[in-house]
């Protein structure tokens, strides 16, 4: 049944079976489109994870981090989320970060581990602090991790 059939008053009336079939075909097309979108998202996440775990932090990524910090300072803030990634990329799926365990850095891998090591070597000696937090909970489970760089003054007494 085509859209033209509805506009033509002389077109034969479709049967109930034809209407059910048209609806079924439409639902099947929608399901196929949804499955393709899910597969594409899965492929995108897999590619991101592979790149995250096997490559190094680029100079462009470091520039973005510096820009984020500069923008936070311009906005009068003492903290900026400088990186985020799926908690699935931690060795414990984000459990230590979610529970604020002191050894959470040991669960980092790939680029997150490299960023943490750069923080320890360069930023921490200059008075910066770094914290990791789960920033969303899809389906009630830890989702993404945010790494937050902080330069607030130490609280006094």
CA distance 135 to 131: 12
Is the pTM higher than 0.75? The answer reads no
61-105: per-residue pLDDT in tens? 999 999 999 999 999 999 999 999 999 999 999 999 999 999 999
Q: Residue 129 has what DSSP assignment? A: E
| Tens digit of each residue's pLDDT (9 = 90 or more) over 1-29 | 555 556 778 888 889 999 999 999 999 99
Three-class SS of residue 151? coil
Name the strand (E) or helix (H) holding 39.
helix 16-54
Backbone angles phi, psi at 85, to 5 degrees: -165, 165
Return the C-alpha torsion angle 95, 100, 101, 103, nearest 10: 90
């Amino acid at each position: 049944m085509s859209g033209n059939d509805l506009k033509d008053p002389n077109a034969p009336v479709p049967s109930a079976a034809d209407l059910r079939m048209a609806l079924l075909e439409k639902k099947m097309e929608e399901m196929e489109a949804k499955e393709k979108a899910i597969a594409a998202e899965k492929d995108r996440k897999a590619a991101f994870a592979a790149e995250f775990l096997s490559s190094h932090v680029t100079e462009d990524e470091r520039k973005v981090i510096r820009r984020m910090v500069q923008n936070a300072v311009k906005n009068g803030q003492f903290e900026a989320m400088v990186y985020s990634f799926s908690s699935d990329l931690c060795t414990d799926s984000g459990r230590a970060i979610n529970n604020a365990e002191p050894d959470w850095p040991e669960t980092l891998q790939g680029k997150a581990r490299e960023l943490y090591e750069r923080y320890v070597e360069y930023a921490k000696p200059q008075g910066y602090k770094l914290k990791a937090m789960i920033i969303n909970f899809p389906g009630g489970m830890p989702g993404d991790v945010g790494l937050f760089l902080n330069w607030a003054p130490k609280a006094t007494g």
